[in-house]
Amino acid sequence: MLTAAVFLPLLGAFIAGFFGRLIGVRGSQIFTCLFVGLAALAGIYSFYDVAIAGHTQVVNIMTFLSSGTFEAQWALRYDTLSAVMVMTVTCVSTLIHIYACGYMSHDDSQPRFMAYLSLFTFAMLMLVTADNLVQLFFGWEGVGLVSYLLIGFWFKKPSACAAAIKAFIVNRVGDFGFLLGIFAVYYLFDAVSFDVIFGAAEGKADAQVTFFGIHAHALTITCLLLFVGAMGKSAQLFLHTWLPDAMEGPTPVSALIHAATMVTAGVFLVARMSPLFEYAPNALAVVTFLGATTAFFAATVGSVQNDIKRIIAYSTCSQLGYMFVACGVSAYQGGIFHLMTHAWFKALLFLSAGSVIHAMSDEQDIRKMGGIWRMIPITFAVMTIGTIAITGIPPFSGYFSKDMIIEAAHAAHTGVGNYAYFMTILVALLTSFYSWRLIFITFFGAPRADHHTMEHIHESPWIMLGPLVGLALGAVFVGGAFSYLFIGEGREHFWGEAIKVLEAHDSIHRAHTEHVPFLIQWLPLIVSLLGLGWAYLFYIRRPDLPGRLAGAFPGVYQFLLNKWYFDELYNFLFVRPAFRLGRFLWKRGDTGVIDRFGPDGISMVTGLFAGRLGRVQSGYLYHYAFAMIIGIAAIVSWFVLGRAG
């Protein structure tokens, strides 16, 4: 079943990609949705096979790479972590595929789009079921490649092409770090197979490496390099700039990237390599600090954005920070649990935003919306459900996973853990504020769209609303239904031996077995309700207050509106110097040296020589006779002088 769950999306992508013109739009939709749906059923079966029966296995397919003593198998690793990821990816991807059939109904390239979606799903499944780092890197690069194709799907839009290139380049930076991390792992363990690496991890706990005369803890360096790769894929601070621009792709792409696939790859990597990270406490501290800082950064920026999809994109960046905080304090189950619940309500929010955009004649600026909740009541209802879930209000899914992370950060009892706890509480307040701000501005108040747009507002077709309802059910029930496997008594059976490693390092164990003070337990909910009240005051009761506040602090407002000026800083430090260097090499190097003394120089000399030689061809017989006599004289002279010598 696991093999079917992984390869059925690839089969759908192959059929739609190579035979799309033959089977048509409807055929492409049917094949891709059918195969991803069957993969979801296989993924659900696989999940319960692990959760209930406790069956773990490795399905060997073929030798992936073999060179001398080095060998990497192409195998599917079937354990708790991969089972959670396979079920989440396939289920959410199925609903996104169905939604895309309606959302992209007016696009001429639907077979290509559906093929890309299925290929994206397959690449992510290859990543999460990998049994070694080489295969994982194959899936890792696969999601990077297909994300480039999907973000730039509307390639006639310059902004879409620029966003695709930006995502590709920024991820190459992270991928380079990840590749160095793989080299470091192979250097330390002489293997890339997870079983070999994890089995030998304890023996390498104190290993040191010397690099340019500097002695350093080997596993710390290795884990930091791996985390650089995770930062790129999961859009953590400094390598986050590609994520908001990825909104240039169609909305189903945004939902798939932000909910179940690409951005979760970094969190998965840290969780998968947790046996190494547990012996690198300094690396875990870095993960915790950057995760908490990213969560705060993205929440502040999301609070002032006006593009409906960019607000949700920064929300993704912030929630990924929560997941890394969990991993950083050794609460890996908490990070994966939040990844699982987040996939449902974040896909719901993105696809609901797509339904709003569809209703508003492709308008994405929330300042040009308002007063539409009665016109699209189903979209309003499901988007509100997604908002309740992400703000952590019980009994919706986000409450269980987000509170688990906050409590784990508090239970860490370390300096960086306390920093993360403070930041996650503050971010919970900001998350509630900007999420409800989005709801209030978009759906309530006086209509701010033009008369023509208001006349054409309509609810989306059921092929789009159906997946929204399915995702809404997940946003409501997934957290409560599966919390016992991540938090409660069922976790010992579900996670097996892994729980012993985690409890040995104690933070997640303490977070859910010791008595949690009343204020610590309920503070996340309190600040979420405060954020709701704050947004209600600003955008329903006193809509003049946001403008007055921005006017009172224009510098802060512009700083946040311009995303902490990261794009401008990178443009100054990297982009402009790269363009200047490229222009110099082009003008002075290529044109001035290579062309001048190469093709252009040879061409010039040849032309000059041909011109001079052409003058000899005068057409007069006595000129040719004279040349022949000179030639004979030269040959005779050479012969005589040669004999004389």
| 205-240 residue pLDDT tens | 889 988 767 789 999 999 999 999 999 999 999 999
Taking every pair of C-alpha atoms in the chain, what is the biggest distance, in angstroms?
Answer: 117
Q: Which element (helix H / strand E) includes 375?
A: none
Residue 491 has pLDDT above 90, yes or no: no
User: Which amino acid, residue 158?
Assistant: P
> What CA–CA distance (Å, rounded) separates 530 from 84?
33
d(CA 269, CA 227): 8
Mean pLDDT of the 345-364 span: 93
Nearest Cα to 336, choosing from 416, 281, 403, 270? 270
For residue 180, what are the CA distances in angstroms to 176, 227, 327, 330? 6, 11, 21, 24
Is 80 exceeded by the pLDDT of residue 593? no
pLDDT tier at 496, thresholds 50, 70, 90: low
Average pLDDT over residues 13-31: 93
Partnered with residue 66 across adjacent β-strands are 71
3-state secondary structure of 457: coil
pTM summary value = 0.90
Confidence of residue 500 (pLDDT cuts 50, 70, 90): very low
